[in-house]
C-alpha cells in the first residue's frame, strides 16, 4: 500500500471589488459581442471574408463616384449612373443588406444555442427582452452604419462640389438625409426581421441562410403568380412579397415611380409599411416565446 500525501495551496483568492455594471452593462456586452461576431472580429479569417466583402461592395461605389466627381468636372451626381443618387444607391444597398443579414442573423442567434452561451447569459441579470433587444440592436447598428456611411459621404462630397457653395448645398439637401434614414430603417427591418425569425428556430447557420434567401426570392415569385389568379381576394397574396416591400417604401419616400407586385395589385405603399411592421412584431413575439424559457 503506497503512502499518499496532499498539499493545500493558498491561491490568494479575493472577492471582486470592481464596479458592478449590472443589467445595463450585460446588455452593452451582448451588443458589443454581437457586433464583433457579425463582422468576424476576433474570429478565424474565413469568418471575416463574407461580411467584409459585402461591406466593400457597399462602400466602393460611393467612394468611386465621389472621387470621380472631384477629379472630373463633367462627372456629376446627375450623370447617367446606376448609383447616381441616394435613391439609386439605396436600391443597391438593399440587395447587399439582404445578403448580409442572411448570414449575420443566424450567426447571432444559432451560435449562442450551439455553444451553450445562453446558460451564461441566464446567470446574468438580464431578461429575454434584454437579449432580444441586444441581438437585434447589434444587427441594426452594424447594418445601419455601413448603409448610412456611404450615403453621408455622398451627401458631403457632392455638397462640396456644388456651384452655390457647400453650406448652401448642405442646408438645401438636408431632407435627403431624412429620406436616407427612413429608407435604411425600412430595409433593415424589412429584411432583418424575417432573418431573425428563421434563425430563432433553425438549428444550423448555413441552412438558415439558405432558407431565408429561398423565402425572400420565392415570395416575390409567389406574389407575381397571384397577379394572374382571378378568384376573389387573390390580390392579397401579393402582400407576401417580402422582398419587394422595402423597395416600395424606398420609391415612396423618394417620390419615384412605383413597381412591384403589391403596387400592381392596387395596394398603396401604406400596405407594404404595415406588412413590414406586422412581420417585425410577429418576430418579436415569437422570439420572446422561444427565449423566455432559457433566460
Listed by start position, the domains of the chain span 22-291
Q: What is the mean pLDDT of residues 170-181?
A: 89
Task: Outline where the chain has alpha helix (H).
Answer: 22-38, 45-71, 86-114, 117-122, 128-160, 166-172, 174-201, 205-226, 245-253, 261-264, 269-291
Q: What does the pLDDT look like over 109-138, one tens digit per residue?
A: 999 998 888 888 877 788 999 999 999 999
The percentage of residues in the chain with a pLDDT greater than 70, rounded to a whole number, is 86
Report the 10 Å Cβ neighbour count for 184: 22
For the ranges 5-14, 89-98, 115-124, 180-189, the one whose mean pLDDT is highest: 180-189
Q: So what's the pLDDT on residue 82?
A: 46
Q: 7: phi > 0 → left, psi -120 to 50 → alpha, else beta; which?
A: beta
Task: Report residue 230's pLDDT band, with 50, 70 and 90 as the boundaries.
Answer: low
Q: What is the mean pLDDT of residues 258-276?
A: 92
Please give the model's pTM, rounded to 2 decimal places: 0.86
For the ranges 6-15, 17-26, 58-67, 70-79, the one whose mean pLDDT is highest: 58-67
Nearest CA among 160, 157, 155 for reference residue 175: 155
User: Is residue 286 classed exposed, middle or buried when 0-12, 13-18 and 19+ CB atoms within 10 A define those classes?
Assistant: middle
Nearest CA among 191, 223, 222, 226 for reference residue 209: 191
Angle between helices 45-71 and 86-114 (to 10 degrees): 170
Q: What is the mean pLDDT of residues 83-100?
A: 86
Query: Lowest mean pLDDT: which of 94-98, 134-138, 184-188, 218-222?
Result: 218-222
Q: How far apart are CA 128 and CA 121, in angstroms?
A: 10
Amino acid at each position: 500500500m503506497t503512502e499518499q500525501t496532499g498539499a493545500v495551496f493558498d491561491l490568494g483568492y479575493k472577492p471582486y471589488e470592481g464596479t458592478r455594471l449590472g443589467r445595463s452593462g450585460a446588455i452593452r456586452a451582448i451588443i458589443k459581442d454581437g457586433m464583433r461576431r457579425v463582422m468576424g472580429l476576433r474570429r478565424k479569417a474565413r469568418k471575416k471574408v463574407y461580411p467584409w466583402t459585402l461591406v466593400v461592395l457597399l462602400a466602393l461605389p460611393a467612394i468611386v463616384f465621389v472621387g470621380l466627381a472631384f477629379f472630373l468636372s463633367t462627372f456629376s451626381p446627375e450623370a447617367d449612373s446606376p448609383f447616381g443618387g441616394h435613391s439609386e444607391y439605396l436600391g443597391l444597398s438593399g440587395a447587399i443588406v439582404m445578403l448580409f443579414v442572411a448570414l449575420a442573423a443566424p450567426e447571432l442567434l444559432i451560435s449562442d444555442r450551439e455553444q451553450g452561451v445562453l446558460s451564461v447569459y441566464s446567470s446574468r441579470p438580464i431578461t429575454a427582452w434584454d437579449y432580444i433587444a441586444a441581438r437585434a440592436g447589434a444587427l441594426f447598428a452594424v447594418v445601419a452604419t455601413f448603409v448610412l456611411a456611404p450615403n453621408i459621404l455622398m451627401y458631403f462630397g457632392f455638397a462640396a462640389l456644388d456651384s452655390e457653395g457647400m453650406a448652401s448645398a448642405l442646408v438645401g439637401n438636408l431632407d435627403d438625409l431624412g429620406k436616407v434614414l427612413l429608407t435604411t430603417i425600412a430595409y433593415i427591418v424589412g429584411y432583418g426581421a424575417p432573418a431573425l425569425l428563421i434563425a430563432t428556430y433553425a438549428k444550423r447557420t448555413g441552412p438558415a441562410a439558405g432558407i431565408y434567401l429561398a423565402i425572400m426570392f420565392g415570395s416575390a415569385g409567389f406574389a407575381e403568380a397571384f397577379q394572374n389568379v382571378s378568384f376573389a381576394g387573390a390580390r392579397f397574396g401579393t402582400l407576401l412579397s417580402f422582398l419587394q416591400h422595402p423597395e416600395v417604401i424606398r420609391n415612396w419616400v423618394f417620390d419615384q415611380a412605383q413597381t412591384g407586385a403589391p403596387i400592381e395589385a392596387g395596394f398603396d405603399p401604406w400596405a407594404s409599411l404595415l406588412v413590414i411592421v406586422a412581420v417585425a412584431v410577429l418576430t418579436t413575439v415569437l422570439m420572446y416565446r422561444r427565449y423566455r424559457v432559457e433566460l
